[in-house]
Structure 1
């Protein structure tokens, strides 16, 4: 895993070497092992810069340093990620006469590009973001992996300049690029806790979408999609055959992700997904797997006991870390800095702190992200099917029932969320609402009238087109494209790379994604039994009390902390003149909400979390231009 940055411009500047150096220095944490930069010009008076920060994982020698130029001298690459199938690809290329000077997967990409051009992407199984400068075509070719595991941001001034990097903070080092708020995307954040691709919370700063690539040549930028889930036709597989195929795919995915020239470990929560990964890793290792878990100080919500039981079962070299409310508070500004955006979830902080501890032992960890989205792990996947029933159409459109449900106390918040989500007829709005901190109407009530009048229509026009045949198809597709990519994967990348540690995600092998969307839906959701086929595969490796235990997730008791340990922190940020002078939020509504929470009248932890992180982002980024 690494950090990359670069540009292609026709604006003359004698200082581009120093500019590129400052760009990669801004993301030093992504690759502290080595660095290099190349700046060169072409016949069209274009100036191209490629910079790289390296976290050495494969071929630790200096030969693996980037930017890397091909044996032919035609192409130069900067690459962030891992190509898991690079070894058989290399064997095939060598048999055809292609030459190699390193043992890296980076050089495999270069030779594949010179052989196949843009179609080289069809051969790669991995997580990646890379930029290749083609000297003959005088163009930049930039690509991101199919599921968006590795990030790539860019800013484009038509006809003159294209700037890109692994993190937004790097792009802001380029002269003439200034921080400006994308106000319609800010509304997106208030509703969803993240900004949907291809936009970001900064005006003009874009994300390259998963499964897409860019070509920049002679001042023109072209974007193309090379992969997507488009075939939803269900395969005629028996359940036993599907179970066997999933088992084999998982085993192969984990075997490939254990290839490394540095120590590899795993994050272990004690839940189904991470426990299954550890079980399969143990089968593929002659040494104890290093596992890592995080918990809360003096908390009833700890999952450390479950993780420890799995660690004991597979005799791992297990490490536990405990965090306090002070650790949490003191890390808020750090998390926002590394994310280049407001923090979306409280779990961002334990992920960051655990990664810093894990780095003392390993440089690579396997994690369980993606299983819920692909195999139907969330309760909403089971409940949303009720919208298509005759009974559901009656119950979820009844005003009397709606009034009764919404009058329930906060302790019934999950039931209220479910009812209100199922009452939304528009598919995309319903999918968004299931994971939103609060409904659109609740979020909009916090915004000032002036701000809404100016930007709300732009935000409402940003709903995407969703692929799929059935409701479950469309719901999982939406989550894979947005919730997973823009929230969970961004969190994982930023919090782990902040500690210079590489996260690998076995469930997000693209072959598993294609498999998941083409098996029968009853194999994923069996009645109300979620992730059914994954659980059946897991029976070969894990005991029932791990497979079928209730999913808890990493819960942070911020409702109590906001009333006690973090009370002053909250009021200093959200009841300040600085906050209200931004003109974004309704002062009266925010004051009422914060005071009602602090006084224990109602629970507004989610609203306060959203507003608090937004204000931290303003103070630490936008205000510090």
Structure 2
């Protein structure tokens, strides 16, 4: 009756198989695909999904009912796309695969491009094509019966958050003990592999927790991998090496010269089926390539920031809003308008009149950024401003109107009164699946490496929401519970430092090694040929960045990745 096409991994296959055996199931092999399909046949789609623990995307066809089901894991670790074209229903785990069908004649989604210019990625359910859609994480889609496709949630962060309010932890020590035990189980389950296995290690909190718990459960040294850059402020390799030495892992590192990063850039950009401008796509690809030279599966520390409140922008956003909210609205509007009477270059010229010792760097950009945030009427607007690369993307896209997202949803203020909860909620539903997990999946799959993310075991995410806000951010730092677990395995001195992120010195490279390549894509002629972006604001940003007066590499990188992507496309309607 049932046929399945499946991509992913279940981490509770044994438990599911045992439950099925009690109902007469006799396995023909040891595949999690067989167990998943048997679960669907006996329990139905929704019940099977709620019982499954893993990362997956699948299509299941019910031959007797002539009904198709698509499903994606709770957090969106694995991608899944669908489209309707020429009277056909198409689906794939790779958006580019749709182009192999002769009926595929897509239309460029300029509204999605506007959203991309704000966030650096295209938020679900939209894609770069009007005819194609992302299946949202934690959803399954039903198609058949002559009806339109309908998407149904089987796991909801709203429900998780609501339930967590009734089940808050009251004893911080007990919570840390329970988290330690849960993380051990999550990591242990994802270490099961019949091929060589290792882990990414940056030396930060999240990857160090994962590696520490791997090593605690392994009889041999875990293979760990990190990369470094010679540019000051971007190199975490030394911290990773110190953690690896303490834990006793078999550590491998690679230092990346600017020339090497430039060489792999076309290959990295080509991995993405739609525009994507998180520049850490480069180091993620390079560390995946390094890991693949020795292992087939790697564990990653992604997901800790979203669940445990670790991003630096969370504290910054809260501080900003606490100050802005003290100023009456009418006064905020007047101040903001006054500050924007001069454009950014004019403010820079004002700053240049000050003595060198008092001259602030990038004054114009700072003044205009502050002006935008001052005029925010809600904390959610403040956070949207923090997330934005281009703040008025509709003014750049020819014929584009930015699609609404939950990041601008005023109703969030009522549903989630605490600002930290709101920021984590937005990031878990948008930034995590559409940026972080997209980046990791494309980079790792591009070198045939399977990447697993134990901090996104849904039980860990649900546990994290039960932790009171005051504990997530404690003693001036985020991820307090996760840190307490890590301190049981690694000394504080090795991991307590400001969060660096997995960045690359794009700002410098755009003025040096990448300058000629970038201008070939950003020149007025290049922008006119692709016909999507108004040239004037891009050229202004380019000139300001090249002068050194402003660091606008984030904005420029979004346009560069869009232009590069457009240059690789054919057979579409603009």
* TM-score (normalizing by structure 2): 0.88
Q: Deviations over 1:524-549 (max 9, x none)?
A: 01253211111122211111123321
Shift of the 195–316 alpha-carbon distance from structure 1 to 2, 3 Å rule, reads same
1:140 has 2:103 as partner: no
Counterpart position of 1:122: 50
Contact 1:293 1:320 in 2 (8 A): yes
| Correspondences of 1:376-391 after superposition (within 5 Å) | 376-386=309-319, 389=322
Counterpart position of 1:455: 400
CA distance in 2, matches of 1:262, 1:330: 30
Q: What secondary structure does 1:270 align onto? A: coil
Counterpart position of 2:517: 569
CA distance in 1, matches of 2:328, 2:207: 38
Structure 1: gaps (5+ residues) = 1-73
1:109 has 2:36 as partner: yes
Counterpart position of 1:353: 286
CA distance in 1, matches of 2:144, 2:284: 40
When structure 1 is superposed on structure 2, of 504-513 and 353-362 the one drifting more is 353-362
1:475 is displaced (CA, Å) by: 1.7
Q: Deviations over 1:225-268 (max 9, x none)?
A: 11112214151421112111111111111011101111110000
- CA RMSD of the aligned region, Å? 2.7
Contact 1:192 1:432 in 2 (8 A): no
Counterpart position of 1:499: 447
Query: Which of 199, 206, 210 pairs up with 1:266?
Result: 199
Counterpart position of 2:3: 76
1:368 has 2:298 as partner: no
Contact 2:394 2:402 in 1 (8 A): no
1:422 is displaced (CA, Å) by: 6.7
Q: Deviations over 1:20-40 (max 9, x none)?
A: xxxxxxxxxxxxxxxxxxxxx
Contact 1:387 1:393 in 2 (8 A): no
Q: Deviations over 1:99-137 (max 9, x none)?
A: 211101111101111111122111101111111112222
Query: Which of 430, 441, 444 pairs up with 2:382?
Result: 430
Shift of the 244–462 alpha-carbon distance from structure 1 to 2, 3 Å rule, reads closer
Counterpart position of 2:263: 330
When structure 1 is superposed on structure 2, of 276-285 and 469-478 the one drifting more is 469-478
Counterpart position of 1:520: 468
1:286 is displaced (CA, Å) by: 0.5
Q: What secondary structure does 1:285 align onto? A: coil
Q: Deviations over 1:249-301 (max 9, x none)?
A: 11111011101111110000011111111111001100110000011246552
Question: How many residues get paired?
Answer: 544
* TM-score (normalizing by structure 1): 0.81
Q: Deviations over 1:331-390 (max 9, x none)?
A: 232223211122321110111122122112111111111100110001232243346648
Contact 1:167 1:340 in 2 (8 A): yes
1:606 has 2:550 as partner: no
Counterpart position of 1:547: 495
Higher RCO (CA < 8 A, seq sep 6+):
2
1:324 is displaced (CA, Å) by: 2.2
Contact 2:230 2:257 in 1 (8 A): yes
Q: What secondary structure does 1:608 align onto? A: helix
Q: What secondary structure does 1:612 align onto? A: helix
Q: What secondary structure does 1:394 align onto? A: coil
Q: Deviations over 1:160-187 (max 9, x none)?
A: 3211111111111112112421000000
Structure 2: gaps (5+ residues) = 348-359
1:584 is displaced (CA, Å) by: 3.2
Shift of the 613–598 alpha-carbon distance from structure 1 to 2, 3 Å rule, reads same
CA distance in 1, matches of 2:370, 2:10: 40
Query: Which of 140, 164, 172 pairs up with 2:99?
Result: 172
Shift of the 416–532 alpha-carbon distance from structure 1 to 2, 3 Å rule, reads farther
| Correspondences of 1:200-349 after superposition (within 5 Å) | 200-220=127-147, 221-229=149-157, 230=159, 231=162, 232-234=164-166, 235-297=168-230, 299=232, 301-349=234-282
Contact 2:105 2:571 in 1 (8 A): no
CA distance in 2, matches of 1:328, 1:146: 33
1:157 is displaced (CA, Å) by: 4.4
Shift of the 167–429 alpha-carbon distance from structure 1 to 2, 3 Å rule, reads farther
CA distance in 1, matches of 2:196, 2:144: 41
CA distance in 1, matches of 2:526, 2:321: 47
Q: Deviations over 1:400-422 (max 9, x none)?
A: 48967985533897897578447
1:503 is displaced (CA, Å) by: 0.9
